[in-house]
């Protein structure tokens, strides 16, 4: 087999192994994204060198990231992002933004990261992994009243706001005004699409009724076409694809009736979790260079510091604001869930590395800190929620 064929085969073997290992080794209590990142590190150019980041693999990875956030947007129920939950979400994120700037400045002042990296660090610390925490709600059973609403609204702010601000950080200083106009235009276009989806929902429902169970799976093909279109539009106006993917998911949610929603969700889940999303995490793992930490041993010490700061920046404001909405244990579980970060941190770290704002060791330490949050925080949150229900 030629080189690129071997790489593609290795990638898909890794996808299968990532799903097979938890059933073979039940004691291996690693979240799927962490396991997939670890496999990517193992087979990638900085590990066993069995695979590389070719254009085909990068394309699959981009689609995987888009599907991850589209699925998260699809799961956002309208009642979850209004009222008290919405108020707590935006107030909590503003508090997180202030703490993130202070924490990033602190990391720079103590010499952990370069001065030019502070806005990138602040954005990374102020995120929440909506695509990671959202599936957990389905697996946890009974939850305290209002918990899911507050978490989904807070996680949504933790994805959307850093994504918008990231596009401004990436833009050159002389193009920030133009970038703001592009974001406003993109937002206006999305609002128009949402209005059209609600107004003409009955036509989409009738179409889904006729074609959902055909062998062609036409609704899924159109969904993927819409996703790619939103990603392309987002790239044209220089907005991170996360925002376009989230909007696509919300459009599908509002445009689909409840009786067809589960069937569409099952198909998107199979396409995403079974195929494209693991490719994104494995490919992201290939880009991480943990060997670079050997040349900068101090960077290893920053991994637990980064993980703790992610919890403090995102978790403390939410725990403080939710005093009247949730019992004590549930508030600390909410803090842990909101402090869980990964996909957007990976994107921020890779962009900072490409622009030589962060070194290989520094970007790897940042992503490793986010990996630690995924490995620890959701499990601790689940234990607190079980104790609260007891």
- The predicted pLDDT at position 177 comes to 67
Helices (H), 110-129: 118-125
- The predicted pLDDT at position 105 comes to 94
Per DSSP, the three-state class of 29 is coil
- The predicted pLDDT at position 79 comes to 57
340 sits in which H/E element: none
- The predicted pLDDT at position 25 comes to 75
Three-state SS for 224-248 is: HHHHHHHHHHHHHCCCCHHHHHHHH
Q: Are 162 and 126 in contact (CB under 8 A)?
A: yes
The encoded tokens of residue 151 equal 């978490």
Cα dist from 161 to 93, 124, 227, 271, whole Å: 8, 11, 20, 27
Per DSSP, the three-state class of 132 is helix
Q: Are 114 and 356 in contact (CB under 8 A)?
A: no
- The predicted pLDDT at position 2 comes to 47
- d(CA 71, CA 265) in angstroms, rounded, equals 8
Domains and CATH numbers, the chain: 3-389 (1.20.1530.20)
- The predicted pLDDT at position 171 comes to 62
Cα dihedral 68, 69, 72, 74 in deg (nearest 10): -110
Q: Are 48 and 42 in contact (CB under 8 A)?
A: yes
- The predicted pLDDT at position 101 comes to 95
Helices 176-199 and 218-236 cross at an angle (nearest 10°) of: 160
Q: Are 290 and 46 in contact (CB under 8 A)?
A: yes
Q: End-to-end distance of the chain based on CA atoms, in angstroms?
A: 57
Three-state SS for 272-318 is: HHHHHHHHHHHHHHHHCCCCHHHHCHHHHHHHHHHHHHHHHHHHHHH
- The predicted pLDDT at position 323 comes to 87
Cα dist from 388 to 99, 312, 329, 381, 384, whole Å: 28, 22, 6, 10, 6
- The predicted pLDDT at position 179 comes to 64
pLDDT in tens, the chain (390 residues): 445 677 777 877 888 888 888 777 777 667 777 788 888 888 888 777 776 666 777 777 878 878 877 877 777 666 555 677 888 888 999 999 999 999 999 999 998 889 988 999 999 999 988 777 877 776 677 778 788 888 888 888 888 788 778 777 776 545 666 666 776 777 777 778 777 777 777 777 777 767 766 766 777 787 788 777 776 776 666 566 667 777 778 777 777 777 777 777 777 777 777 778 888 888 888 877 777 777 777 778 889 999 999 999 999 999 999 888 888 888 999 999 999 988 789 888 888 888 889 888 888 889 889 988 988 898 888 888 887 666
Q: Are 13 and 39 in contact (CB under 8 A)?
A: no
Tell me how far the alpha carbon of residue 372 is from its chain's centroid.
Answer: 15
């Amino acid at each position: 087999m030629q080189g690129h064929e071997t790489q593609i085969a290795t990638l898909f073997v890794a996808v299968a192994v990532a799903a097979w290992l938890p059933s073979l080794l039940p004691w291996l209590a690693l979240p799927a994204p962490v396991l997939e990142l670890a496999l990517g590190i193992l087979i990638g150019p900085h590990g066993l060198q069995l695979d590389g980041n070719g254009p085909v693999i990068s394309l699959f990875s981009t689609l995987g990231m888009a599907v991850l956030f589209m699925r998260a947007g699809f799961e956002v129920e309208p009642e979850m992002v209004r009222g008290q939950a919405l108020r707590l979400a935006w107030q909590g994120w503003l508090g997180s933004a202030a703490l993130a700037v202070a924490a990033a400045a602190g990391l720079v002042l103590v010499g952990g990261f370069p001065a030019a990296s502070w806005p990138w660090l602040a954005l990374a610390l102020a995120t929440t992994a909506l695509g990671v925490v959202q599936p957990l709600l389905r697996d946890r059973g009974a939850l305290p009243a209002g918990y899911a609403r507050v978490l989904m609204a807070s996680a949504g702010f933790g994805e959307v706001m850093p994504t918008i601000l990231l596009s401004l950080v990436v833009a050159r200083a002389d193009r920030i005004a133009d970038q703001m106009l592009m974001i406003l235009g993109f937002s206006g276009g999305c609002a128009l699409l949402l209005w059209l989806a609600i107004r003409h929902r009955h036509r989409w429902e009738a179409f889904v009724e006729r074609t959902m169970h055909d062998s062609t799976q036409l609704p899924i093909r159109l969904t993927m076409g819409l996703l790619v279109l939103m990603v392309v539009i987002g790239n044209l106006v220089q907005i991170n694809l996360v925002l376009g993917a989230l909007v696509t998911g919300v459009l599908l949610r509002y445009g689909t009736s409840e009786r067809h929603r589960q069937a569409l969700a099952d198909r998107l889940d199979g396409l995403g979790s079974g195929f494209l999303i693991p490719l994104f995490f494995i490919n992201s793992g290939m880009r991480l260079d943990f060997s670079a930490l050997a040349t900068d041993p101090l960077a290893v010490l920053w991994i637990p510091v980064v993980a703790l700061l992610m919890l403090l920046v995102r978790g403390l404001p939410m725990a403080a604001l939710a005093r009247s909405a949730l019992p004590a244990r549930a508030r600390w579980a909410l803090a842990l869930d909101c402090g869980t970060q990964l996909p957007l941190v990976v994107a921020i770290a890779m962009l900072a590395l490409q622009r030589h704002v962060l070194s290989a060791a520094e970007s790897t330490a940042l992503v490793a800190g986010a990996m630690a949050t995924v490995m620890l925080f959701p499990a601790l949150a689940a234990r607190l929620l079980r104790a609260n229900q007891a």
